[in-house]
Amino acid sequence: MKIHDWFDGPYPARVRIALAEKNMLSRIEFVSVDLWAGEHKTPEFLAINYSGTLPVLELNDGTLIAECTAITQYLDALDDSPTLTGQTPVEKGLIHMMTKRAEIEFLDAVSVYFHHATPGLGPHVELYQNAEWGNRMRDKAIRGMRYFDGLLKRQPFVAGGTFSMADITVLAGMIFASLVKLDVPDDCEALREWHARMQQRPSVQEWRAMVARGAPQR
Ligand code: GTS
């Protein structure tokens, strides 16, 4: 299997952390797509993923699966022992809901802020920017942090009692927020405590080590 991604991207982090959780990293060949050079917007890459985003999973038979949630669901189902996307119907429903909420209310909002209200990936990639919209999404992301803080006051993980894809998605939001210097409000103590706890997970440490190794050589 191949993953087309960029080594330190927040969305790619979602799949890399999921792979580490599943002990599957050694089964993957990573194909580097340089976001900063705009490689994800070339006709060759758009043929791989119409949306022009990373990551994309390519199976050995050529099947292409984009979208972090879909990729994680596929990987989690591979070993007949789903640990990230839920086992019971209610777990599956709650994890899917909270993953989507983490995207809409936090991670995607930080991403829009980055692409619209900061230089983003540079003028050769950011062909249209709307700073007012970007700044509104920054405020939405901060409201999202407060929402997850409130949730984590009541339960240890984003979707309830166990670690899941929803935690990985909020974690990606925190990774992106840190890259764009969007601080977690001081009073979000539960979110900060959860974030510190997430840093202790071997999967997150493995992801950090991959990032520390830097951009792949061509
Ligand atoms: N909904 C998609 C998913 O969940 O996979 C979003 C993917 C996405 O936005 N990926 C980022 C991207 O390709 C990668 S990164 O910014 O996290 O590294 N962004 C490039 C762009 O131009 O939007």
| Cα separation of the two ends of the chain | 20
Residues 66 and 97 in one domain: no
pLDDT at 216: 85
Residues 94 and 197 in one domain: yes
Q: What is the mean pLDDT of the chain?
A: 97
pLDDT greater than 80 at residue 29: yes
* β-sheet with 2-5: strand ranges across: 29-32, 2-5, 56-58, 64-66
Q: Is 102 in the pocket of ligand 1 (CB under 6 A)?
A: no
Give the CA distances from residue 58 to residues 62, 98, 132, 196, in Å, rounded to whole numbers and listed in that order. 6, 26, 37, 33
Beta strands in the chain (DSSP E): 2-5, 29-32, 56-58, 64-66
Reported confidence tier of residue 134, pLDDT bands at 50, 70, 90: very high
pLDDT at 170: 99
Q: Please name every residue paired with 4 in a beta bridge, in sequence order, or none if there are none.
A: 31, 56
Instruction: Find the CATH number of the domain harbouring 101.
Output: 1.20.1050.10
Residues 97 and 154 in one domain: yes
How much is the pTM?
0.98
State the virtual CA torsion across 150, 143, 185, 138 in degrees, nearest 10: 150
Q: Three-state SS for 31? A: strand
The answer to the question of residue 218 being in a domain is no
User: Using CA positions, which residue lies closest to atom 15 of ligand 1?
Assistant: 9
Q: Is 86 in the pocket of ligand 1 (CB under 6 A)?
A: no
Sign of CA dihedral 177, 183, 186, 192: positive
pLDDT at 99: 99
pLDDT at 48: 98
CA 94 to chain centre: 18
Provide the domain limits for residue 153.
89-201
Reported confidence tier of residue 143, pLDDT bands at 50, 70, 90: very high
Q: What is the pLDDT of residues 69-109, one digit of tens each?
A: 999 999 999 999 999 999 999 999 999 999 999 999 999 99
Reported confidence tier of residue 217, pLDDT bands at 50, 70, 90: confident
The answer to the question of residue 217 being in a domain is no
Q: Is 11 in the pocket of ligand 1 (CB under 6 A)?
A: yes
Residues 106 and 180 in one domain: yes
pLDDT greater than 80 at residue 218: no
Q: How many domains does the chain have?
A: 2
Q: How far apart are CA 153 and CA 25, in angstroms?
A: 33
Residue 64 is given by DSSP the state: E
Residues 98 and 158 in one domain: yes
pLDDT at 113: 98
Q: What is the percentage of the chain residues whose pLDDT exceeds 70? A: 100
Reported confidence tier of residue 148, pLDDT bands at 50, 70, 90: very high
Instruction: Find the CATH number of the domain harbouring 60.
Output: 3.40.30.10
